[in-house]
Structure 1
Amino acid sequence: MKIVSGDVTYAVEIAGNGEPIVCLHGFTGNRDTWDFLVPMLQDRYSLIMVDIIGHGETMAPDDFQRYGMEQVAKDLKHILETLKLRKAHILGYSMGGRLALAFSCLYPEYVHTLMLESSSPGLKTEEEREHRRGNDAKLAKRILEHGMEAFVEQWENIPLFETQKRLSTDIQTAIRQQRLANTPIGLSNSLLGMGTGNQPSYWENLETLDFPVLLVTGELDEKFCHIAEMMQSRLKNVEWKKINDVGHAIHVEDGQKFGKIINGFLKRN
């Protein structure tokens, strides 16, 4: 399904019947990220899987400012309105989690529950954001200059994804193909427009969120476990699940356990 928001056409896939869950993938991913959840949830829930701007089959505009977090959150609101949905569960992983949280802070009336996998509310200080913007700009330039193959080779070897090297060759190949299916301009502008250095900080908004929030982190991902611990102290209605022996992408490293956690949280809320 194609849904137009302003000047951007989004690719959206819907599977299952029941309460809607909006599913938002991470950087370099696409809506196929969530295919494994469909058989687990489709009898009770309708999974609305979105290719985020610059990824998958959604458009990749040339102007990086169109990728701004608040603009993309507004696009998400338009997608829900187009589907005639007044409320939904929101699930996001990493970059998609930052978008899910931004959407939830800006449009809380649309949110039934929020589920964040390895996600953050952004960087707290302008100094941190400025430093990150510099690093993201360098990486964005490298993607454009050297192309997808070289970038993906580098990206899959960063420390954040070290634990994925324990996965089977087939799974690692599938992840690589998913990353390679994106475009240099889409990923470059995603970094420049909605990277952690460019998004607003939502730390101060956490205390205002009244709906149930689930935080899921892998115990081997120490950085995001620390972030989740700080988030937990600010959220009113929160569960935090730390999963043993996995890293950043819990849904890839232990999809069955991740699905059970999501299913359990949804049933309780």
Structure 2
Amino acid sequence: MLSINGVKYHVQLQGVGQPVLLLHGFTGSMNTWNTFIQDYKHCFQFISLDLLGHGLTEAPIDPDRYEMQKAAKDIKDILIALNIQSAHILGYSMGGRLALGFAVLYPEFVRTLILESSSPGLEHEGERLSRAHSDAQLAERIREYGIDSFVDDWEKIPLFASQERLSNGKKAEIRQERVSHTSIGLQNSLMGMGTGSQPSFWSELKEVDFPVLLLAGALDKKFVQLALKMQNCLNRCQFETINDTGHAIHVEEPKIFGRIVSEFIRGRN
């Protein structure tokens, strides 16, 4: 555990080579990256962590503590504590939004940026207000009915429909990960770092001057369109669509995911 800005973070270092920071999605944990780490720990040094309110990292009571800028500063201070001057930053979904926010705020720490099924947030204030209201309703549902009931509904949303094809063992593993968090942690993550709460980083994309890899599953049509739009705003961008795959590429097609990401990183040395 690392004590960072008053919060105890669960952080692990594994492997040898260039540092790669891994940021998981909402209801996930560092364990979501286990296959990728095992396959490539001979090539890269992986820094994995449980984000605020997730896994074994503490869940502060104040939703404001989860704000994107504060979470990004935590990431910076974790790298400093580990004596890592810069890293390849890889984020999935919510972790991708945080990865982009971190890269915009602290570009000197970024070698490359890899965004899996992610976005720069919502461009317009009206959209953000509407989404913040939806996120608040979700948070209230967690508070009122508990984690298990929330996850029952969460895993049925269209975003995760393609995960029905996973083995029963893998589905059970994902469910266990989703229900392992505290109620207050997930509530505050939605309230403080949900898509409706974070700032839009669309206008900052044109300023990004390090290599960026965008990944989207072909079945995840919303995020394919978002990635295409992002690609048009970025100067040094590679976009890969993975056929017959949904939102969680690293879970649904771990070998393809690992090959694309590792080749991208190696090709930028």
State whether TM-score is above 0.5: yes
Gaps (5+ residues) in structure 2? none
1:245 maps to: 244
Query: What is the CA RMSD across the aligned residues, in angstroms?
Result: 0.6
Q: Distance in 1 between matches of 2:32 and 2:47?
A: 12
Q: 1:46-65 alignment to 2 at 5 Å?
A: 46-65=45-64
TM-score normalised to structure 1 length: 0.99
What is the number of residues matched between the two proteins? 268
Q: Distance in 1 between matches of 2:3 and 2:162?
A: 37
Residues 10-48 of structure 1 show CA distances to partners (whole Å, capped at 9, x for unaligned) of 000111011110000000000001111112221121000
1:187 maps to: 186
Q: Which amino acid aligns with 2:161?
A: E
Q: Which amino acid aligns with 1:152?
A: V
User: How far off its partner does 1:90 sit?
Assistant: 0.3
1:32 maps to: 31
Q: Distance in 1 between matches of 2:41 and 2:137?
A: 41
Gaps (5+ residues) in structure 1? none
Q: Distance in 2 between matches of 1:167 and 1:130?
A: 35
1:143 maps to: 142
**Does 1:84 pair with 2:80?**
no
How many percent identity over aligned positions?
A: 51
8 Å contact 2:36–2:250 — kept in the other structure? Answer: no
Q: 1:56-75 alignment to 2 at 5 Å?
A: 56-75=55-74
User: How far off its partner does 1:5 sit?
Assistant: 1.2
Q: Distance in 1 between matches of 2:18 and 2:54?
A: 26
Residues 111-158 of structure 1 show CA distances to partners (whole Å, capped at 9, x for unaligned) of 000000000000000000000000000000000110111000000000
2:170 maps to: 171
- Runs of 4+ more than 4 Å apart: none
8 Å contact 2:13–2:45 — kept in the other structure? Answer: yes
Residues 97-118 of structure 1 show CA distances to partners (whole Å, capped at 9, x for unaligned) of 0000000000000000000000
1:204 maps to: 203
Deviates more, 1:2-11 or 1:231-240: 2-11
Q: Distance in 2 between matches of 1:48 and 1:7?
A: 20
User: How far off its partner does 1:53 sit?
Assistant: 0.3
1:45 maps to: 44
Q: Which amino acid aligns with 2:205?
A: L
Q: Which amino acid aligns with 2:157?
A: I
Residues 196-250 of structure 1 show CA distances to partners (whole Å, capped at 9, x for unaligned) of 0000000001011111000000000000000000000000000000000001001
